Structure 1
Amino acid sequence: MHSSLPDFDMPSDEQVHLAAETFRLLADPTRIRVLWALLQGESSVACLAELAGAAPTAVSQHLAKLRLAGLVKGRREGTFVYYSAANEHVRSLLDQALFHAGKIDV
């Protein structure tokens, strides 16, 4: 049935897996708070921990996973690392999730 649709194109298994992994990483309240804070500007682990209401070690572990997933990036300055959202696509993901939750109007 779908094969008869002229523009029907299923994503590849790898694309589906990577999308599911992104959603899995976003399925944590602390990570959403951290990402939302990073969308406001660059920040340190200590500041993010305070904003997210979590321990710095926990925030650091969350950031490591988000960085590996390409959702955040880090910039080293001496012994400190400052994090930021990787790109505007991260904002779009969070905007849509929060819109669906009734937080914001997109």
Structure 2
Amino acid sequence: MILMKQNLPAASRSALGEEDAQYLAEVMRALASPLRLRILSCLLEGPATVSELCERLGSAQAAVSNHLRLLRHLNLVVGVRHGRNVCYRLFDEHVNDLLNQAIGHASHLPDRSSE
């Protein structure tokens, strides 16, 4: 994982380097999937197993598992094994904040249903 400059005032941050930009582009592509966003929004409410996510989302186990694999790879979620089940949660508060900011931004956009 690429370590980015964090907790610095905006004026102290330099432009993104190539590696950081590549990593962020991967994260943004991951967030461009409606099902992955729905999985992450479920995890905002708390940890869940694949079975619980499938039930809440009405999605197939294979699809949810594949999306979780990518989200784990990008350090957006972590899974902890409990016997035969793996319980997933958001990686950290930064992911929580990112999702809440995106949801908040979308709620302020003009209504697109009239387009």
Q: State the TM-score, normalized to the length of structure 1.
A: 0.85
Alignment of 1:25-104 (within 5 A): 25-102=30-107
Q: Which runs of 5+ in 1 are unaligned?
A: 1-5
Matched residues, number: 98
Does the 8 Å CA contact 1:45/1:60 hold for their aligned counterparts?
yes
Identity %: 42
Structure 1 residues 81 and 102, CA gap change in structure 2 (3 angstroms): same
Moved more, 6-15 or 87-96: 6-15
Does the 8 Å CA contact 1:76/1:82 hold for their aligned counterparts?
yes
The RMSD of aligned alpha carbons is 1.7
Does the 8 Å CA contact 1:75/1:82 hold for their aligned counterparts?
yes
Q: Which runs of 5+ in 2 are unaligned?
A: 1-10, 109-115
Residue-by-residue CA offset, 1:12-49 (whole Å, 9 max, x unaligned): 00011111111100111111111111121111101111
Structure 1 residues 84 and 8, CA gap change in structure 2 (3 angstroms): closer
**Over 4 Å off, 4+ runs:** none
Does the 8 Å CA contact 1:44/1:82 hold for their aligned counterparts?
yes
- Compute the displacement of 1:53 (Å): 2.3
